[in-house]
Structure 1
Amino acid sequence: MDLTELLELEHQGWKSLCNSAGADFYGKMMTDEGVMTLAHGFVLDRDQVVASLNDAPPWSSYEISEERLVHSSDDAAVLVYRGKAWRGDAEPAFEAWMSSVYVKAGDEWRLASYQQTPIP
């Protein structure tokens, strides 16, 4: 896996969150044991992520920048990037450092862990 492939998966995820399809996308993308560690102190397993995204308002837009591939092997890769997302003009942007850990499952890459660290 290279940086371009990982970024494409991240963009697919963000687009699903903008289109209210995040529950379906992450339900398929995450490993069975996968977790998301979110900025507000929650650690959610795959089923909790899916349930929370069913009720989440969509993001209106997002940006990914300062992306870098921290580790890559034949069966695992880590992407770190700065993410910024908006839910409309009335709310301030959410901005955080984000990292996604992907593992190979058969012929597919799956999300094993995702973590956010807010940028003050």
Structure 2
Amino acid sequence: MDDGRVWAFEESLWTGDAEHYRALIDDECLMVLPHPPFVMGGAEAVAAVADTPRWSTVEISEKQVSRPQEGLIVIAYKAAARGEGKAPYEAHCTSVYRRLAHDEWRVVQHQQTPPLTVTP
């Protein structure tokens, strides 16, 4: 998968509907999200995100792509998401995709780290 498709794939995970999301997340996926229970795997990770309202737009910046071996893509980036009736959301993220077959990829890891808020 070339870089353009990588970023379109990742953006679709933020803005696509729940069915689209479920289709692209591997059953063995591990996620770390900024809300309880924080660390999730498999169906729990899919349900946690698929059951939340989707974002209308996401701006992806600070993009990095690594291909450490055939059939594995690791990405890191900053996301700025906006949605109707939702507070804007920003996070630094990573995702790992594995290829199952020609042109068939699934997310096996995803992590989001929102900016730290410093309190006096």
- Give your verdict on TM over 0.5: yes
Instruction: Give the conservation status (yes or no) of the 8 Å contact 2:76–2:95.
Output: yes
Deviates more, 1:81-90 or 1:61-70: 81-90
Partners of 2:86 and 2:110 in 1: how far apart?
27
Identity %: 33
Deviates more, 1:63-72 or 1:41-50: 41-50
Partners of 2:19 and 2:85 in 1: how far apart?
27
Is 1:6 matched up with 2:6? yes
Taking a change above 3 Å as real, the CA distance of residues 54 and 113 of structure 1, as seen in their structure-2 partners, is closer
Partner of 1:27: 22
Instruction: Give the conservation status (yes or no) of the 8 Å contact 2:58–2:79.
Output: yes
Query: RMSD of the TM alignment (CA)?
Result: 2.0
Deviates more, 1:40-49 or 1:57-66: 40-49
Please, which of 58, 62, 81 is the counterpart of residue 62 of structure 1? 58
Q: Which amino acid letter does the alignment assign opposite residue 111 of structure 1? A: V
Q: Which amino acid letter does the alignment assign opposite residue 75 of structure 2? A: L
Taking a change above 3 Å as real, the CA distance of residues 52 and 89 of structure 1, as seen in their structure-2 partners, is closer
Instruction: List gaps (5 residues or longer) in structure 1.
Output: none
Taking a change above 3 Å as real, the CA distance of residues 90 and 103 of structure 1, as seen in their structure-2 partners, is closer
Length, aligned pairs only:
114
Instruction: Give the conservation status (yes or no) of the 8 Å contact 1:3–1:68.
Output: no
Instruction: Give the conservation status (yes or no) of the 8 Å contact 1:24–1:50.
Output: no
How much does 1:89 deviate?
6.3
Which of the two has greater helix per residue? Answer: 1
How much does 1:78 deviate?
0.4
TM-score (norm 1): 0.80
Instruction: List gaps (5 residues or longer) in structure 2.
Output: none
CA offsets per residue over residues 5-37 of structure 1, 9 Å max, x none? 211211221221xxxx1x212221112211221
